[in-house]
Amino acid sequence: MDVTIVGGGVCGLALAHELASDHHVTVLESSPGPRGDGYMIDFFGPGFFAAERMGVIEELRSRGHAFEGVRYGLPDGTQSGTIDVAPLVKAAGGRYFSILRPEVELGLLAQLPASVDLRYGARVVGVRDIGTASGVRDAGAASGVRDAGIASGVRDADTAAGAGPNRDLGREGAAVEIEGGEVLESDLVIACDGVRSPVREHVAPGHGAILPMGYRAASYLFEDPQFAGELGERMLMTDTVERVGWLYAADAARVGVMFSERVDPAITERPTADRARLQTEFAGLHPQIDQALSHAPESFYDDLVAQSVAPRWSRGRVVLAGDAAHAPSLLAGQGTSLAIAGAEALARSLRAAGPHIDVGLAEYERRWRPTVERTQRSGRLSASAFIPATPLQLRVQQVARRAIGLPGVSRLVSRQFIAA
């Protein structure tokens, strides 16, 4: 069948990898090319096992890094504690490493089948069901994506993209419009367009908006080989209240930095990246953080920490995947893992269902939803641990970190973290 994937990030590329052997796959990505900026993630859990089965784990591992652990620092520059990563790696059976999120995309790109039609700079502005009863609505009704303008006489995907020349236009399907007017019809549209997915409102009316968690995060990378060498094999995390900074050597030449702060949870609009505000807001957390702030670029990642929740993941021949369906939030630390594992789960369900696409979509949700909802609950509970609200909360965390070093405690906590 013809499959159109909206979004060429981790989830979209993983899906394309899994579907390409059986289907004609087109991937539409709004950015002009692979995204170079990003932040370091810990890769483990269901996504690691899925990557092994997909045959891409060694490519990802070659792009990853094994840190020794985390060191905690106070505003005066003194060290307040450390946590070693070795117990986590052992608890995960060795299936654990750190990797820059854009390197995950590049790793999947390196393994992408040649048959996939990957289009950068292709922004989808509308989506609509076709070949079904009347009454469907476009994706933009409540989310800023305009009417796709899809009617009975539009071109199908084979005339526009060279994919799927044998699609039966009388069958049920879906269509997307790309900015500029081009329309693609396919048997299935899969939205992998992130936590702020405009398509989610089409699939689950009333659930298109994000669910802010009361935090804001920013990150960037910069070149400084000497600074990277000084940071060594341990990440720095500031022991501070309401505002936190992370710092790490992304590789031998680059330094990565991330900031997070508490904000009003009622805010849903994406913030505007402001270099001067960032430098003012996070100054004084740690001397090395101040040094990193002097390298802040004019443009960088800056967004609310949020989840996405939808009571249904598919409607007709449009289905949500990855963060578009179930973002656990940046602070939960499992978004990339769930994106890859969820992509595999959807592909396997469709493969098992054969021509019965609706059955495959229902089975995907039935099997995968319990896993992601458990991770989302864990993410909501653990988010506050990263950014203490009061000095008392910070003190409790410092005491807890020291307890982790006791015999047996580290092993228990590591197993619980991996299982979360």
The predicted-structure confidence for 330-379, as pLDDT tens digits, reads as follows: 877 789 999 999 999 999 999 999 999 999 999 999 999 999 999 998 88
Q: Are 319 and 346 in contact (CB under 8 A)?
A: yes
Q: At residue 155, does pLDDT exceed 60?
A: no
For residue 92, what pLDDT is reported? 84
Top-level class of domain 2-35+112-209+307-381: alpha beta
- 21: which 2 tokens? 């052997």
Beta-carbon neighbour count of residue 402 at 10 Å?
11
**Per-domain residue ranges of the chain:** 2-35+112-209+307-381, 212-306+385-419
Whose CA is closest to 336, among 98, 176, 37, 31?
Answer: 98
Measure the CA–CA gap between 369 and 312, rounded to whole angstroms: 10
Q: Are 320 and 314 in contact (CB under 8 A)?
A: yes
Q: Averaged over 23-43, what is the pLDDT? A: 93
Strands 183-186 and 173-178: antiparallel
Measure the CA–CA gap between 57 and 47, rounded to whole angstroms: 10
- 174: which 2 tokens? 């879906």
Which residues 6+ apart lie within 8 Å of 275 measured at CB? 296, 297, 298, 300
Q: Are 74 and 369 in contact (CB under 8 A)?
A: no
Model confidence pLDDT, tens digit, residues 58-96: 999 999 999 999 999 999 999 999 989 888 888 888 999
Identity of the amino acid at 199:
V
Give the burial class of 342: count Cβ atoms within 10 A of its Cβ; 0-12 exposed, 13-18 middle, 19 or more buried: buried
Model confidence pLDDT, tens digit, residues 303-328: 999 999 999 999 999 999 999 999 99
Beta-bridge partner residues of 174:
129, 186
Give the burial class of 311: count Cβ atoms within 10 A of its Cβ; 0-12 exposed, 13-18 middle, 19 or more buried: exposed
Taking the domain 212-306+385-419, which CATH number applies?
3.30.9.30
Same fold, 2-35+112-209+307-381 and 212-306+385-419: no
